[in-house]
Amino acid sequence: MAAPRALAVLGAALLLAAGAQASKYSREANEGLAAAGAKRREAGEFRVVRLNQIWEKAQRLHLSAVKLAELHSDLKIQEKDELSWKKLKAEGLDEDGEKEAKLRRNLNVIMTKYGMNGKKDSQLADTNYIKDGTESDTLDDPRLEKLWSKAKTSGKFSDEELDKLWREFKHHKEKIREYNILLETVSRTEDIHKNVINPSEENLVKEEILHNKHRELKDKLRSINQGFERLRKVSHQGYDTTSEFEEPRVIDLWDMAKSANFTEKELESFREELKHFEAKIEKHHHYQKQLEISHQKLKHVEGTGDKDHLNRNKEKYAMLEEKTKELGYKVKKHLQDLSSRISQGLQHNEL
């Protein structure tokens, strides 16, 4: 009897030691993440001066912690694209200026999206991951408002399904808004080119550049139309229990992938990748919620005067902020890669 008891005690001790060691490594990793963030802030958040200026300006705006983290992810993607473009330009691979023009459009979309383009009504509504917000938020589109109203009163959805459907409606609203921002940017660029006096300058604006701009708009419009049809179908019929995906961005990608020129094997591979992508998005959502909670708790603790408690909360907030930024960047980069592959597949269909 003594031997089994001794083994049990030894096993429990080993488990406790392993748990303590894992906790230590996790704590050290989190502390390292927060320290890396502080070091980066001292040296400048981004390697592109213009992006640092935008980030510094954003700090002075009344954006939520989650929205600031989202902006940071968008600017990191922009930074990656701008640094890649600089290498291409040095090698003489962007002679027509097409990629440079797209970078300018993308930056304008970011500036408009976060209310930094000088227009008072341009800023997106702050996302609050604690409150549902379905009563106060509007969809800014009579067709969407009508569908949502019918869905809420249809009795076909549980509370959880209504929350999920609301996220889809909000996602669709933002897609329309981003399309309109891009359309305005492209239209303004074309007007400038039309007003060029010197014909030799007009020749620099190649037909291919305009074609690529309109193709980007066309892809976005196709996604909007497919998304609306899906919302209309779900609002009237309820959710299909056999549906593979729940995240709106993943559903969009899957619907478009099925219309692209993929073989069965490629489509199956894409489906598996989308499952991993959805898991990544869910993890990002988790950290966004934790960041929002931590931010509210930090504001509460600041008023108590307890310095030790305040320092602990600041450390936790810094760690969550860095993790949310990191995951946000990974999600956006993955989305960019997946969208690019689908766009190429759709282009093959048009050939």
Rg, C-alpha atoms of the chain: 24
Count other C-beta atoms under 10 Å from residue 38's C-beta. Answer: 10
Distance CA(106)–CA(113), nearest Å, equals 10
Q: What is the pLDDT of residues 82-108, one digit of tens each?
A: 999 999 888 888 777 778 888 888 898
The per-residue pLDDT of the chain, averaged, comes to 80
Q: Please give the pLDDT value at position 303.
A: 82
Domains of the chain: 45-114 (1.20.81.10), 142-237 (1.20.81), 248-348 (1.20.81.10)
Q: Answer yes or no: is pLDDT of 4 > 60.
A: no
Q: Please give the pLDDT value at position 338.
A: 93
Q: What's the whole-number mean pLDDT along residues 149-175? A: 90
Distance CA(157)–CA(162), nearest Å, equals 6
The residue ranking higher by pLDDT, 135 or 285, is: 285
Q: What is the pLDDT of residues 164-212, one digit of tens each?
A: 899 899 989 988 988 888 788 777 666 655 555 555 544 555 555 666 6
Q: Please give the pLDDT value at position 31.
A: 57
Q: Please give the pLDDT value at position 24.
A: 53
Residue 325 corresponds to which tokens in the numbers above? 């930024």
Q: What percent of the chain has pLDDT over 90?
A: 36
pTM score: 0.74
Q: What is the pLDDT of residues 272-292, one digit of tens each?
A: 999 999 999 999 999 999 999
Residue 216 corresponds to which tokens in the numbers above? 């980007």
Q: Answer yes or no: is pLDDT of 120 > 80.
A: no
DSSP string, 177-239: HHHHHHHHHHHHHHHHHHT---HHHHTTS-HHHHHHHHHHHHHHHHHHHHHHHHHHHHHHH--
Count other C-beta atoms under 10 Å from residue 256's C-beta. Answer: 20
Count other C-beta atoms under 10 Å from residue 72's C-beta. Answer: 20
Query: Which of these ranges, 288-297, 313-322, 334-343, has the smallest mean pLDDT?
Result: 334-343
Q: What percent of the chain has pLDDT over 70?
A: 74
The residue ranking higher by pLDDT, 110 or 205, is: 110
Among candidate residues 33, 197, 307, 211, the one with its CA nearest the CA of residue 41: 33
**Residue 132: which pLDDT band, with cuts at 50, 70 and 90?**
very low
Instruction: Supply φ then ψ for residue 296, to 5 degrees.
Output: -65, -40
DSSP string, 51-92: HHHHHHHHHTS---HHHHHHHHHHHHHHHHHHHHHHHHHHTT
Query: Which of these ranges, 153-157, 217-221, 270-274, has the smallest mean pLDDT?
Result: 217-221
Q: Answer yes or no: is pLDDT of 53 > 80.
A: yes
Per the CB < 8 A criterion, the answer to whether 209 and 101 are in contact is: yes
Sign of CA dihedral 179, 180, 181, 187: positive
